[in-house]
């Protein structure tokens, strides 16, 4: 509730300052420049251009708070006709970097009325549930680098959908403009400028299992995608499967609703996205109370810190019967425990009712 209130408050001041400031870009940013990602830009008094073809039409410049308000060009690939706030910051002692910037996309420019309505409702009814005003998709477009999956404050796991395998605008693993889902990984960064995490991926499928990520990926439609605090769901068009996710402080919880089929699978890709140095799955127990327990282990390379990290996860499959356990490599018998390196899929019940 507090986060949503603060966000709306900030947006209100974007609109308020835009009405009183001068229409001009900052002098130090005028002309041509290249950022540290080798992306080139051109800025003048009317246009802020990210080459080759992303344009923002400058509306106002606020010299006190050092930000621009611009309208997104109608031909922009993402967030066309929306509004963008471009915040500038200057650096000292960080040569060759002299200044930086951050882009934030908004749907509306004038939202002071929304702010007043919220304040009125706060005074009128303190017990009202304000979580309905929280939109987890904010920041998932443009260069926001956030993801829409559920997470608790200071939680150890951040499950969510992955729509990109790499790229700067895929730092969080998800981008709002995409219409393909590769699956659901268990850890995500939010709002960073460098990609990392997205530890091992689950992907429910039907039919003969496909092991290449571009083959098991599925199209999805925005109209079927829902997100609210602590919940995410979508519908995988290729397999006619509804996927739902929620989370506790230390565990992600999934519910996959399959169609009637004789071939229901869960792809598990331990090599997904991150640079994994080693990975394996330990079968802790066999079928017990219609559940299976696996230990998923990966040693990954952290790009941001140049360290190696060993992570151990427990996967519990409940209320199903695992028909067969198949690997791309043979099972290894180590003592009394079975191990499978690079486990790729589980075949579930013979028939999903």
What is the reported pLDDT for 179?
Answer: 92
Predicted local distance difference test score (pLDDT) of residue 239: 94
pLDDT of residue 314: 56
Selection from 106, 101, 105 nearest residue 39 by Cα? 101
| pLDDT of res. 105 | 76
Question: CA 51 to CA 30: how far, in whole Å?
Answer: 15
Between 265 and 326, whose confidence is greater? 265
For 97, phi then psi, to 5°, come to -85, 125
Name the token pair of 82. Answer: 């929306």
pLDDT in tens, 240-281: 999 999 988 888 888 888 888 877 888 877 777 766 666 666
Q: So what's the pLDDT on residue 207? A: 86
Cα R_g (the chain), whole angstroms:
23
The average confidence (pLDDT) of the chain is: 71
The answer, as to whether pTM is greater than 0.85, is no
Tokens describing residue 250: 């230390």
The reported pLDDT for the residue numbered 297 is 60
- Mean pLDDT of all residues in 304-331: 47
Q: Is 244 or 98 the better-scoring residue by pLDDT?
A: 244
- Across 164-184, average pLDDT: 86
**pLDDT tens profile 190-243:** 887 766 676 778 888 888 888 788 888 999 999 999 999 999 999 999 999 999
* CA–CA dist 353, 350 (Å, integer): 10
Higher pLDDT, 291 or 212: 212
Question: What tokens were used for 121?
Answer: 């409702």
3-class secondary-structure state, position 308: strand
The closest alpha carbon to 149, from 131, 174, 178, 169, belongs to 174
Q: Quick one: pLDDT at residue 275?
A: 66
């Amino acid at each position: 509730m507090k986060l949503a209130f603060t966000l709306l408050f900030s947006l209100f001041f974007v609109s308020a300052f835009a009405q009183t400031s001068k229409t001009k870009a900052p002098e130090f940013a005028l002309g041509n420049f290249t950022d540290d990602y080798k992306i080139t830009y051109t800025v003048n008094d009317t246009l802020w251009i990210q080459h080759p073809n992303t344009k923002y039409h400058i509306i106002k410049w606020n010299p006190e708070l050092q930000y621009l308000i611009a309208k997104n060009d109608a031909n922009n690939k993402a967030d066309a006709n929306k509004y963008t706030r471009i915040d500038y910051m200057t650096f000292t002692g960080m040569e060759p970097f002299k200044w930086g910037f951050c882009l934030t996309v908004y749907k509306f420019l004038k939202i002071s009325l929304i702010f007043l309505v919220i304040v009125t409702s706060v005074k009128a009814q303190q017990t009202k549930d304000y979580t309905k005003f929280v939109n987890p998709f904010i920041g998932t477009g443009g260069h926001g680098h956030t993801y829409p999956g559920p997470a608790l404050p200071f939680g150890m796991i951040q499950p969510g959908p992955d729509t990109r395998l790499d790229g700067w605008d895929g730092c969080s693993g998800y981008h709002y403009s995409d219409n393909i889902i590769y699956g659901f990984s268990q850890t995500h960064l939010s709002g960073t400028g460098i990609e990392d995490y997205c530890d091992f991926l689950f992907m429910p499928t039907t039919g003969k299992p496909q092991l290449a990520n571009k083959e098991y990926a599925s199209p999805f439609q925005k109209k079927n995608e829902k997100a609210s605090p602590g919940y995410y769901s979508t519908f995988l068009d290729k397999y006619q499967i509804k996927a739902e996710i929620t989370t506790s402080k230390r565990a992600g919880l999934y519910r996959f609703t399959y169609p009637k089929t004789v071939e229901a699978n869960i792809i598990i890709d331990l090599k997904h996205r991150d640079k994994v140095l080693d990975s394996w799955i330990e079968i802790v127990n066999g079928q017990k109370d219609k559940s299976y327990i696996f230990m998923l282990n990966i040693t990954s390379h952290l790009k941001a810190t140049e360290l190696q990290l060993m992570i151990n996860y427990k996967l519990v499959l409940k209320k199903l019967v695992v028909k067969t356990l198949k690997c791309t490599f043979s099972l290894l018998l180590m003592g009394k425990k079975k191990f499978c390196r690079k486990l790729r899929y589980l075949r579930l019940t013979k028939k999903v009712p």
